[in-house]
Amino acid sequence: MIDYLNSRSRAFIVATAGAGIVLLGVIDYLTGRELFFSIFYLLPVSAVAWFVGRRAGLVASVAAATCWLLAELADHAPYSSPAVPFWNTSVRLAFFVIVTLTLSSLRLVRQRQESLMQFIVHDLRSPLAIILTGLQTLEEVGGERPDQGEQKIIAHGIAAATHMQILINSLLDLPHLRSGKMPLQMASVDAKELVESVVRNIEPWAQRRQMTLAVECGEGAEPVRADEQLLSRVLTNLLSNAVKFSPSGSTISIRVSPAQGEMLAFQVVDQGPGIPSEWWDRIFDKFVRVEAHDQGASLGSGLGLNFCRLAVEAQAGRIWLESSGQGSAFTFILPSVNHRSRRGWPLGRSSNRAI
Ligand code: ADP
């Protein structure tokens, strides 16, 4: 998590810690020697050392020790020597510095572990691409001498490898999306064309499960301002979930329609089990999986919806879930090309409702 904080969050932590240190100094002075408040200086110092880094932690340590010293000097405590408060301050400072150095070292180790994981995940892409290409070649060759059993195995292999590819790309992109450092290729994207191309990729899988994918793209569906790749992956994730969790024989609708405020709404509606209300608050969080759905579907990661939310919000949109006992409707809105604000700032946090 530490790596995912953007500069605004870090600045917020530094400002809050600074205000906290000053406030503690004032409380320390007002309560005098009777109440022991000073231990709380460790909170802002630790927060800065862990979330912002070693240098800022050391600055916070000096600020905390100085505030503590000022409170003590202002209190005019009857010490045997005037040097005592300064000696005390040195001891406290040394303590804060030890805490800061320990936390920042732990932070560094964690960052290295995370980077290593990223490298490993990244390196999985090449062998997977080779496997996928091999399977696709086999599928093409198989078309000339069809064998139902073989074809089925190859199709399963392709679906699994494609799913793994999406997962790997999500794992690689999530930290960048969280820190706001994901480079986006924002352009005018034809919503209808994009939806049709995503549906074409998912259709073979849906057909194997005897499902119907119904695209409803209204007249007013203007192009959106989005990163085409990212948008296509959001739709792929939502559609894959709909196929994965819905019963065979059911229909999945993909609707594109204009929404208020020069936005375009994309909606994926399925006839699956729905998502109970107690999960709504956290369904877009990392690693969340609805336990009741685990039995039927293959094991997932709980990363897909988190990726969707971050990707939609990075493109100045909003995503939410509407669900009842029967079926789920995932809707996200993105600014159309005519939207007044052309900057990539989120318009607000996503939230869920009942239908
Ligand atoms: P994954 O599908 O890889 O587990 P997601 O983040 O995409 O991860 O989804 C999180 C959880 O939300 C899923 O495990 C599932 O329990 C639930 N879920 C997502 N989409 C649907 C849906 N269309 N119908 C029912 N449950 C869903």
pLDDT tens readout for residues 23-51: 998 888 888 766 777 789 999 999 999 99
Lowest mean pLDDT among 61-65, 99-103, 288-292: 288-292
How is 210-276 classified by DSSP, letter by letter?
T-EEEEEE-TT---EEEEHHHHHHHHHHHHHHHHHHSPTT-EEEEEEEEETTTEEEEEEE--S----
253 bridge partner residues:
214, 269
Distance set, CA 148 to CA 9, 78, 143, 210, 343 (Å):
55, 93, 10, 16, 51
Q: What tokens were used for 259?
A: 């929404």
Opening angle at CA 164, ends 290 and 125, nearest 5 = 145
Please name the residue whose Cα sits nearest to atom 7 of ligand 1: 304
Mean pLDDT estimate for the chain: 85
Q: Is 293 in the pocket of ligand 1 (CB under 6 A)?
A: yes
CATH for 187-335? Answer: 3.30.565.10
| Spatial distance between the Cα atoms of 19 and 282, rounded to a whole number of angstroms | 31
Q: Which amino acid is at 320?
A: W
Q: Which residue has the tokens 């605004």?
A: 8
Mean pLDDT of all residues in 297-315 = 82
pLDDT band at 202 (very low <50, low <70, confident <90, very high): confident
Report percent pLDDT > 70 for the chain: 89
Asked whether the beta carbons of 78 and 133 are under 8 A apart, the reply is no
Give yes or no for a contact between 44 and 20, defined as CB atoms under 8 angstroms apart.
yes
Site to probe by mutation for ligand 1, drawn from 213, 285, 290, 298 as the one with most ligand atoms within 8 Å of Cβ, is: 290
Sign of dihedral through CA atoms 195, 198, 201, 203? Answer: negative
* pLDDT the model gives residue 145: 64
Ligand 1 and 192: CB distance under 6 A: no
pLDDT above 70 for 299: no
* Distance from residue 350's CA to the centre of ligand 1 (Å): 17
Whether residue 346 has pLDDT greater than 60: no
| Ligand 1 atom nearest 293 alpha carbon | 16
The pLDDT of residue 200 is above 60: yes
Q: How far apart, in whole angstroms, are the C-alpha atoms of residue 321 and residue 329? A: 6
Query: 349 alpha carbon to ligand 1 midpoint, in Å?
Result: 20
Angle, helix 148-179 to helix 228-245, in steps of 10 degrees: 130
The strand pairing partners of 255, in sequence order, are 216, 267
> Region 164-189: what's the mean pLDDT?
85
How many whole angstroms separate alpha carbon 337 and alpha carbon 190? 10
305 lines ligand 1 (CB under 6 A): yes
Instruction: Round to whole Å and give the CA distance between 81 and 351.
Output: 61
- Given a contact cutoff of 8 angstroms between Cβ atoms, the answer to whether 93 and 59 are in contact is no
Ligand 1 contact, 221 CB (< 6 A)? no
Task: Answer whether residue 2 shows pLDDT above 70.
Answer: no
From ligand 1's centre to the CA of 289, what distance in Å? 6
Q: In this predicted structure, which of 124-128, 251-255, 300-304 has the lowest mean pLDDT? A: 300-304
pLDDT of residue 344: 43
- What is the structure's pLDDT at 301? 72
Q: What is the DSSP letter of 336?
A: B
Q: What is the mean pLDDT of residues 93-105?
A: 95
CB atoms within 10 A of CB 61: 27
H runs (alpha helix) in the chain: 7-31, 42-51, 54-74, 84-123, 125-142, 148-179, 191-208, 228-245, 304-314
Note the pLDDT tens digit of each residue in 140-156.
Answer: 887 666 677 888 888 88
Contact 154, 132 (CB under 8 A): no
pLDDT at 60: 96
